[in-house]
Chains A and B, each alone.
Chain A
Amino acid sequence: MSRLAGTDLVRLAGRGARGHPVRFLLSALGIGIGVAAMVAVAGITQSSKAELSNLLEALGTNVLKVYPTADLRGRPSMLPRTAAPMLGSIGPVTAVSGLTVLQSEAAYRSPYVPSGQTSSVLVTSVSTDLLATLRGQVADGHWFTATEQRYPAVVLGWAAARRLGVDAPGLRLWMHQQWWVVVGVLRPLPLAPELDSSVLVGGSAAQDYLGADGTLSAVYLRVPEDQLGPVERVVPPTASPEHPELVGVSRPSDALAAKLVADATLNRLLLGLAAIGLLVGGIGVSNTMIIAALERRPEIGLRRALGATRGQIAAQFLAESLVMATAGGVLGVLLGDLVTVVYAQVQGWPLSLPLWVSGAAVLLTVLVGAVAGLYPAVKACRVPPTEALSST
């Protein structure tokens, strides 16, 4: 027999939708919510990945952190004060900046705060080129000038400013029996997160006012990417010729890169949940189509009397199921993309909406529609042709 043209099937399927618009919409929405969840999870994942790799790109993955390890008795050690200039003399190293955590110091908002209530903020002395080495940014105020690093001035890490309740430069902090003026507040430093909760003091001021001895708790190096391996090998003897075994080297960008991988597990879980939503939506479509097949026995009988084959009846019901699921899929993709756009906007992330995600989601709903429509279609095409007359 002649087959139905595709346009005829679409027309018939559309008529099914018009017959019960609310039922159609609700069933499509069921699919749509599942799809929206999938698309949003994928979109948000992609956008956060884009954000992370932008960050890695901006910060560079060629920074090494050199730090002292605990000695054999488990006591913390320090790097000798010569470590920074020595490390700087390694050929490929392009930047060196040392810092010292001043364990005995604490900063307060006023002299009247009982000592000990330090808001868990550290005091760290830094060399003035540290910000450049870490490619950090100032959120408010400015970084130490050449003069300021010799006077009682501080720059606050992002978290330290919050904990001390300093919202703008110009305020003073009480430290080591005197006032220190806040000249700047930093943005978070992803390569040195430990500095976010520190009050930073210039190296000269630390020696002059706080009596720092110049030994170091860490040195950051910037090295050309292809020289990282060789440099890493010569770092311990260079930093501490007497105790190279007490020198550790790490690559801070590794932690950021690891986050890219770690997120994947959670995302797989979320995608799984969204897929269950889609499955439930598919069951809804199937249910709606089964009801339609039961309700429309007279229509099916009429069509058989007009000459429809079983296959044509099945095709009509399958087409209705497909249209329903696909409409839900398109709705879901739009919804999911919208969620992604809003979320990325709020997070300040770059928007990443890969077309293949939307395409795959729609294809998936076509598949769901086909599977969901299978049983109803078989049920419909088994209605005997006498059904049109039998209600007489």
Chain B
Amino acid sequence: MTTVLECRALTRTYPGDVQALVDVGLEVAAGEFVAILGRSGSGKSTLLNLLGTLDRPTSGSVLIDGVDVTTMSDRELSGVRAQKIGFVFQQFHLSPLVSVLDNVAEGLLYAGVRHAERRRRAAVVLERLGLGHRLSYRPHLLSGGERQRVAIARAVVGDPAVLLADEPTGNLDSVNSAAVVALLRELAVTGTAVVVITHDHEVAAAMGRQIELRDGRVVTNAAAGPR
């Protein structure tokens, strides 16, 4: 499998000499389903921000689809995010002002896709994720599980190479968690590299590989569990 996401000797030091991430190197191939584990404060979100080009490393480099993004301008990084990376957040970040369909279509807004085409593709993705009956709903009328699926639809509507999720099941009960994890696995099967932060070992066990962080360092990086 081709490597789509890679980091080398990644270090992030926050002001006040907080070493949030120290010398982290890892590779994720297309179609891989990877869990990032670790206690609170171990550097998981910091790593995800760096892998997703939302933040810049103190040293080291990040390669997406084989391209080093560390030296790119802010504008170029925006383009990388619009074209190659999808994000899923713990608290969904859906707009209550527009429909489910328009929330998902927003995922293509900055990729230069025209309005009608954005909505058409959003409808296709929502249909595929089993939310075809919710297109015109406002997000707040949906259950938490459905909302997270809408957020996932928004993340993948642009068909990104990499999907990054920070505690996507953090606000969900176990039934909805399982459904969301199953959905993410399906996306991995179709060729997306899926990286999920979780501190739930049960959730992590369902994934193809577990990377564990402790004090900003990788302590485990092993394939385990059913794949």
Assess whether B109 is interfacial by the CB under 8 Å rule. Answer: yes
Complex CA gap A309/B110 in Å reads 8
Contact between chains at B82 and A5 (CB < 8 Å): no
- Give every chain A residue within 8 A of B80 (Cβ-Cβ): 307
Contact between chains at B74 and A388 (CB < 8 Å): no
In the complex, what residue of chain A is closest to B90 when comparing beta carbons? A392
Contact between chains at B110 and A392 (CB < 8 Å): no
CB neighbors of A among B10-54 (8 A) = 45, 48-49, 52-54
Among A7, A305, A310, the residue within 8 A (CB) of B115 is A7
Assess whether A204 is interfacial by the CB under 8 Å rule. Answer: no
- Give every chain A residue within 8 A of B49 (Cβ-Cβ): 386, 389
Contact between chains at A386 and B54 (CB < 8 Å): yes
Assess whether B129 is interfacial by the CB under 8 Å rule. Answer: no
CB neighbors of A among B103-152 (8 A) = 106-107, 109-112, 114-115
The answer to whether residues A299 and B93 also contact, given A1-B110, A386-B49 and a CB cut-off of 8 A, is yes
In the complex, what residue of chain A is closest to B154 when comparing beta carbons? A306
Assess whether A103 is interfacial by the CB under 8 Å rule. Answer: no
Contact between chains at B111 and A15 (CB < 8 Å): no
Max chain B C-beta neighbours (<10 A), residue from A8, A18, A307: A307
Contact between chains at A388 and B110 (CB < 8 Å): no
Main DSSP-derived SS at the A contact region: helix
How many pairs of A and B residues are in contact by the CB < 8 Å rule?
A: 95
In the complex, what residue of chain A is closest to B151 when comparing beta carbons? A302
Contact between chains at A2 and B111 (CB < 8 Å): yes
- Give every chain A residue within 8 A of B114 (Cβ-Cβ): 5
Contact between chains at A388 and B111 (CB < 8 Å): no
Among B79, B115, B170, the residue within 8 A (CB) of A5 is B115
- Give every chain B residue within 8 A of A360 (Cβ-Cβ): none
Interface size on B, residues (CB 8 A): 35
Among B78, B97, B170, the residue within 8 A (CB) of A1 is B78
- Give every chain A residue within 8 A of B97 (Cβ-Cβ): 15, 18-19
Contact between chains at B115 and A388 (CB < 8 Å): no
The answer to whether residues A388 and B87 also contact, given A299-B93, A304-B54, A308-B110 and a CB cut-off of 8 A, is yes
Among B90, B91, B95, B112, the residue within 8 A (CB) of A2 is B112
Contact between chains at B45 and A307 (CB < 8 Å): no
The answer to whether residues A385 and B54 also contact, given A1-B78, A1-B110, A19-B97 and a CB cut-off of 8 A, is yes
Among B79, B89, B109, B166, the residue within 8 A (CB) of A8 is B109
* Interface size of A as a range: 20 to 34
Max chain A C-beta neighbours (<10 A), residue from B98, B112, B170: B112
Complex CA gap A130/B109 in Å reads 79
Contact between chains at B75 and A1 (CB < 8 Å): yes
- Give every chain A residue within 8 A of B154 (Cβ-Cβ): 306
Chain A nearest Cβ from B213, distance in angstroms: 15
Contact between chains at B81 and A304 (CB < 8 Å): yes
Chain B nearest Cβ from A131, distance in angstroms: 71
- Give every chain B residue within 8 A of A11 (Cβ-Cβ): 115
Max chain B C-beta neighbours (<10 A), residue from A298, A305, A311: A305
Contact between chains at B115 and A307 (CB < 8 Å): no
Assess whether B55 is interfacial by the CB under 8 Å rule. Answer: yes
- Give every chain A residue within 8 A of B212 (Cβ-Cβ): none
Chain B nearest Cβ from A378, distance in angstroms: 14
- Give every chain A residue within 8 A of B177 (Cβ-Cβ): none
Among B53, B107, B115, the residue within 8 A (CB) of A306 is B107
Assess whether B70 is interfacial by the CB under 8 Å rule. Answer: no
Chain A nearest Cβ from B76, distance in angstroms: 8
Assess whether A391 is interfacial by the CB under 8 Å rule. Answer: yes
- B residues near A (Cβ < 8 Å) are 45, 48-49, 52-55, 74-75, 78-83, 87, 89-91, 93, 95, 97-98, 106-107, 109-112, 114-115, 154, 166-167, 170
Other A-B contacts than A299-B95, A388-B93, 7 sampled, CB-CB below 8 A, are: A5-B115, A298-B93, A302-B93, A306-B81, A306-B110, A307-B82, A392-B166
- A residues near B (Cβ < 8 Å) are 1-2, 4-5, 7-8, 11, 15, 18-19, 298-299, 302-312, 384-386, 388-392
* Complex A-B: 23 CB contacts under 8 Å: A1-B79, A1-B110, A5-B115, A11-B115, A15-B97, A302-B89, A302-B93, A305-B87, A306-B81, A306-B87, A307-B81, A307-B83, A307-B110, A308-B78, A312-B78, A312-B110, A385-B55, A386-B49, A386-B55, A388-B93, A389-B45, A392-B91, A392-B166
